[in-house]
Structure 1
Amino acid sequence: MVNRCFGMIKEWGLNSLYKYSIYRRLIWCFVYMSVLPILLIGGYNAVYSFSKNEREAKMFLQESSSQIANNISYYMFSHMNLLEEVAMNPEIVNELMIYHQVDWNQKSDIENHIRLVLGSTFGASGAVNACEIVSVNRSYFYYPSPVSNGDFKTSKLLSRSARQVLMKVSPKEVPSDQNSYVILTRSIYSNEGCVGNIVAALDLSYFNKVCYENVTNLLNEVMIIDENNIVISASNEEQVGSVFGADKMLSISVSEPISNTNLTIVNLIDIQTLLKSAFIQFGITVFTAVLFAVLAFIFAILFTRSITEPINRLMEEMKKPKVEKFVEDAGNDEYHAVIEGFNKMSSNLVEALQKQYEIKLQETKLRELRREAELSALQQQINPHFLYNTLESIYWNGQLEGDEEISEIVNALGNYLRVIIIKGREYITIENEVESVNNYIFLQNKRFENRIVNYWDVSISMRHTKIIKLAIHPIVEDVISANLDDLESQIDIGISIAGELDTIQVTMTGNAVEYFLGRLDKTQVNTRGINSVDERLRLYYGDAFGVVMDKESEKIRVTMPVYKDNGSEGKKQYG
């Protein structure tokens, strides 16, 4: 089916090309062969370049994001530790508990001490914009400015249950400052429970600085988003406050969560940036292809003319009714040889016509020789008939004298010779071939004291199937002869004949076959019979048939077709 489809496509393609002149075909061939490979290679290089840039971009984004996340994580962890230190300070805890129970002088001392602790702890950090401590009794201590509204009931920045530092991005609860900050909150506990909160507002300047510093040649974009996908900091300030994701579909991005926080680093590169280099490379390829196409077109015109002009001159001479003069050509290429051949063909044409009469005379002589050969073959058929009649006389004399053994030998020899030397029949039945082999083995057993034992495995339905004559007997003779020359023990040979569709498979086994195959490479073994059968089968039917001597399985296989009788014995037909 595949070969048929391929043949149809080939035929259609050739018929389509034949509609155009050789001149046009050669020109288009040169153009396509020079331009298409360049376009294919350029397209492949562009795709490969894009995929390579994509891999390198992802690796760069991953490394950059991990570094940014580690830096911010360390930065946040250090400020959270400061809150933990203040929240766990026993003096602060005690002062918040007794603040409402002391007089004004002691209150003033407590306020100064708390502000001193806040200033010494957070004042050295340039990132802390403001910090405060608020007690559950609404006592308010801040440095240098407040962060929350001081009311645990209404404030979204205060919490009674924050045993660990909480973080959120939010403006202060101060009307005068609505900028966004990173708000850190931690509850202050005593043995009796929550006594207050410490709150710190961190500037986003550090985050903005990190985003700006990790932008490489304006190729990538860095941003930090919170748990709600809100951009809190970005290398592009226009992105701050927007929701991440909606406008970043056509980009390659890497996300890296920042430990100890609810923030995530997003590092991305616009895919158009990667495509730009691929487009530039493909553009160079297209330009090169166009340049090569122009050069190829010019070269194709010159080349095709060098091919078609000699052909045109030759065609003009061929259109003339008779050859008046030879075609002249000063070239030294294949077309010069063609033209020289045409000139020689023209000169030989007359000589060919003159020889036609001589050929007819030769055909007459051949017919006479054939009649003589047929007469000789008819005369030679007399000899086998004379031999059969003589053997018949010996057989009946043995019967009359009562010598049954001589009669059996003569009868077997006559049947054997009848199959071997009979003329006119090229195909015999399997039954006749089996009988011929049995007669041969019978005669050999009379000579060698019944040393040969043969076994047949042939279906009864196949006994009248016709095969080519002497397809089995010569092989058996070669095998037994090799064994009789060297062995004195019993010789076993088994022969099975099986049919499948229109093919006959003959398989020979036994110690005789094993010994014969074992001697092939070691000593000279007579294989003339096997070679003759193999050559006949391959000559008649092709290389699919013949004799195979399989040393590994210690078997000899003969494959031949079934003869289909059409009423004429001399014709070779098989299914």
Structure 2
Amino acid sequence: MIKKAIQITNNMKLKHKLIISYILVVMIPVLIVGITVVSYFRAEAMDRAIEQTTNNVEKIKSQLGNMLRIPVDVSDTLLLDKDLERVVTTRYDNALELTKAYLAYDGFIQFSRVYREVAGIRFYYDNPTLINNTELIPVTKEVEETKWYQQAMESKNLGWSYIDDPEVIPVKKLSLIRQLPFPERRAKGVLMVSLDQNELNRMLSQEEFETLIADDQGHVVAAKDHSLVGKTLDGLDYGVDLNQVTKGSHKMDIRGEASYLIVDELVPESSANGLRIMSVFNTDDIVKDANRVSIYGLVIILLILLIALAFVYIVSLLTTNRLLRLSRNLNRLALGDLNVVSRIDGNDEVGQLSRQFNYMVESINRLMEQVVEKTEQNNSLELAQREIKLKMMASQINPHFLFNALESIRMNAHLKGEKEIANVVRLLGRLMRKNLEVGRESTPLKEEIDMVRSYLEIQKFRYEDRLIYELAVDLQASDIRVLPLIIQPLVENAVVHGVEDKAEGVEVRLAVQMKDDVVEIRVSDNGLGMMPGRLAEVRQSISNPEESGNNRIGLRNVHQRLVLSYGEEHGLNIVSEYGKGTEIVFTIPVNV
């Protein structure tokens, strides 16, 4: 699948590649990001609106709670009012006595004057001698049949209702309904404290969204839209049954439009029922501004992208035209026109290709001129190579002849009882054979140690007591592969310089030790050592990339091979003190 896509891409023209790449890499991601940001802002606006409305409902709930405490306090005061009890329970013989009693009692008027939230107070009592003065009202059959009166007579809890009964002077307000018992007289009446409608409506007038308060019977007791007061929730044209909506935030269609409805409840202390606070807002109104800004932003983004697309198209068109000119020059060159010259200006990659093309044509012309000379030189080289091959074949015969001759000498010495000479000849043959295998890439460390041991035995035979050596080899490192002829030149250097510089001879020590992930190889001697100046010269010479005139394998060759194979940190480290000896240390990584 990937190969096929790559093939299709390679077969497309550069202009089309640039345009498609721009669309895929720039336009589509930018549009996706823009749409995502728009959606995010819409959601943020909606969440803020829900949060704001919820906070507003909480604020209204708090304000309404404070307002409802006023009629509760008034009713608590009247519960202990003995003058009220006396006025309503007295049986009056004539209207004059009743009128005097009404004029003498001013308990209700003082509350209306102190609290502007209180619109009026009524007390209903079963005393047929009373006359309805809109404050003290005798209980009639119509009053007894009302639901609020029946509930108040049956329960001592507070009740809250919108009073919409057809009386001579109707209440039509949210009212506190409460039973006032007179234990001494074994009687009771019903107190009604009505709240001022303007105060209720004023509490909602500053709300941003449509907000209303309803009692448990579904009557609207207060609303931002004052025309809704007194109506029932069923009579509102919301298109949903508001009586069934529970407390919380609800997303629903109201009046056929997507909206949110926030509902909360307030049940005052010691109350048998409570009030519901509802706030509605249209989601389109909330995201309207966000949508407008988003549309403007998307239009601007699209214009910028289209302008950029036109710019990319123009650049791609100019680039492809220059490439087509270069392609025609290449075709002329392929047909053998060596006089073609590319005249494409500019310092970009295409211009550089044009100049390189001209350089290439010049190089081809020069190379064509050199072909004849090279042909003659090649004929001479072929003759020389044949001679070299003959000499190489002859050189391969000589080592075998030498090994056979050494073996014959060793056998002859052994038969004549010269075992020491026979052993030395054997060691010499082994050493020469190992030297001829230097072309191998690597060899086990134990074979390198065997060659060093053979060399030291030969030198021991030569120098006798003037040479003392010690080999301390960690057996764990025996099978580690190392470069061939990497230790013997160091030992040879220690032996030769030690014996030549000290009449009493030299002691050479070879130590091989495993250390973590490297093998440490240490060659030391107690020879004459080197002065600091000579030591610095030696260190400089082994690091010099220029080869010296002779071809022997020495310290420099060993150091260069170590550095090239394992890295600078694994090269030779030479320490020497004049009069005490010299020590050479290097390491070989185990996992190479």
User: What TM-score, normalized to structure 1?
Assistant: 0.64
1:71 aligns with 2:63: yes
Cα separation, partners in 2 of 1:338 and 1:294, compared to 1, 3 Å: same
Structure 2: distance between partners of 1:531 and 1:58: 79
- Helix, strand or coil: the match of 1:183? strand
Asked if the contact 1:88/1:188 (under 8 Å) is kept, the reply is no
2:253 is matched with which residue? 247
- Helix, strand or coil: the match of 1:120? helix
1:456 aligns with 2:485: no
Amino acid at match of 1:260: P
Question: Which structure ranks higher in relative contact order (CA pairs < 8 Å, sequence separation ≥ 6)?
Answer: 1
User: What TM-score, normalized to structure 2?
Assistant: 0.62
Structure 2: distance between partners of 1:333 and 1:146: 106
1:281 is matched with which residue? 293
Cα separation, partners in 2 of 1:227 and 1:210, compared to 1, 3 Å: same
Amino acid at match of 2:180: I
2:584 is matched with which residue? none
1:497-536 residue pairs with structure 2 within 5 A? 507-508=517-518, 532=561, 535-536=564-565
- Helix, strand or coil: the match of 1:46? helix
2:193 is matched with which residue? 200
Structure 1: distance between partners of 2:355 and 2:413: 80
1:559 aligns with 2:588: no
1:119-198 residue pairs with structure 2 within 5 A? 119-122=109-112, 125-135=115-125, 143-144=134-135, 155-157=147-149, 158-160=151-153, 162-167=155-160, 169-174=161-166, 181-191=173-183, 195-198=188-191
Deviation at 1:336, TM superposition (A): 5.1
Deviation at 1:83, TM superposition (A): 1.5
Deviation at 1:81, TM superposition (A): 1.1
Structure 1: distance between partners of 2:425 and 2:104: 140
Q: Which structure is larger by alpha-carbon Rg, 1 or 2?
A: 2
Structure 2: distance between partners of 1:265 and 1:411: 114
1:275-305: CA deviation from partner (whole Å, max 9, x where unpaired): 2223222322343245445644654565444
Q: Structure 1 unaligned runs (5+)?
A: 496-505, 513-522, 539-545, 549-554, 561-575
- Structure 1 window deviating more from structure 2 (278-287 vs 139-148): it is 139-148
1:235 alignment partner, one of 224, 228, 234: 224
1:200-235: CA deviation from partner (whole Å, max 9, x where unpaired): 2335443332222222xxxx3333355688764433
1:99 aligns with 2:90: yes
1:270 is matched with which residue? 282
1:260 alignment partner, one of 243, 254, 268: 268
1:11 alignment partner, one of 6, 20, 27: 6
1:542 is matched with which residue? none
Deviation at 1:85, TM superposition (A): 1.2
Structure 1: distance between partners of 2:157 and 2:28: 68
Structure 2: distance between partners of 1:152 and 1:394: 146
Structure 2: distance between partners of 1:342 and 1:490: 61
Asked if the contact 1:433/1:473 (under 8 Å) is kept, the reply is no
Cα separation, partners in 2 of 1:90 and 1:31, compared to 1, 3 Å: same
C-alpha RMSD of the superposition: 5.6
Cα separation, partners in 2 of 1:209 and 1:529, compared to 1, 3 Å: farther
- Structure 1 window deviating more from structure 2 (395-404 vs 113-122): it is 395-404
Amino acid at match of 1:247: D
1:422 aligns with 2:437: yes
Deviation at 1:198, TM superposition (A): 1.3
1:567 is matched with which residue? none
Deviation at 1:345, TM superposition (A): 4.7
- Helix, strand or coil: the match of 2:476? strand
1:404-419 residue pairs with structure 2 within 5 A? 418-419=433-434
Deviation at 1:270, TM superposition (A): 2.5
Structure 1: distance between partners of 2:400 and 2:9: 61
Cα separation, partners in 2 of 1:70 and 1:451, compared to 1, 3 Å: same
Amino acid at match of 1:200: V
2:106 alignment partner, one of 82, 102, 116: 116
Structure 1: distance between partners of 2:358 and 2:591: 52
Paired residues in the alignment total: 497
Cα separation, partners in 2 of 1:407 and 1:190, compared to 1, 3 Å: farther
1:111-156: CA deviation from partner (whole Å, max 9, x where unpaired): 6279621232236545444432234778877644869867667643
1:307 aligns with 2:319: yes
Deviation at 1:330, TM superposition (A): 7.3
Deviation at 1:176, TM superposition (A): 5.8
Asked if the contact 2:448/2:484 (under 8 Å) is kept, the reply is no
1:572 is matched with which residue? none
1:466-498: CA deviation from partner (whole Å, max 9, x where unpaired): x9x63599599999x99xx9xx99968349xxx
Structure 2: distance between partners of 1:231 and 1:338: 85
Deviation at 1:82, TM superposition (A): 1.1
Amino acid at match of 1:89: D
Structure 1: distance between partners of 2:218 and 2:424: 110
Deviation at 1:184, TM superposition (A): 0.9
- Structure 1 window deviating more from structure 2 (169-178 vs 444-453): it is 444-453
Cα separation, partners in 2 of 1:236 and 1:135, compared to 1, 3 Å: closer
1:493 is matched with which residue? 513
1:84 is matched with which residue? 76
1:61 is matched with which residue? 53
Structure 1: distance between partners of 2:202 and 2:281: 19
Cα separation, partners in 2 of 1:189 and 1:43, compared to 1, 3 Å: same
Structure 2: distance between partners of 1:443 and 1:228: 118
Asked if the contact 2:162/2:221 (under 8 Å) is kept, the reply is no
Deviation at 1:11, TM superposition (A): 0.6
Structure 1: distance between partners of 2:385 and 2:218: 105
Cα separation, partners in 2 of 1:367 and 1:111, compared to 1, 3 Å: farther
Structure 2: distance between partners of 1:401 and 1:187: 144
Deviation at 1:76, TM superposition (A): 1.4
Percent identity among equivalent residues? 13
Cα separation, partners in 2 of 1:427 and 1:316, compared to 1, 3 Å: closer
Structure 2: distance between partners of 1:366 and 1:125: 126
Asked if the contact 1:38/1:285 (under 8 Å) is kept, the reply is no
Q: Structure 2 unaligned runs (5+)?
A: 234-241, 461-466, 499-507, 523-535, 543-554, 572-586
- Structure 1 window deviating more from structure 2 (392-401 vs 432-441): it is 392-401
Asked if the contact 1:223/1:234 (under 8 Å) is kept, the reply is yes
Deviation at 1:86, TM superposition (A): 1.0
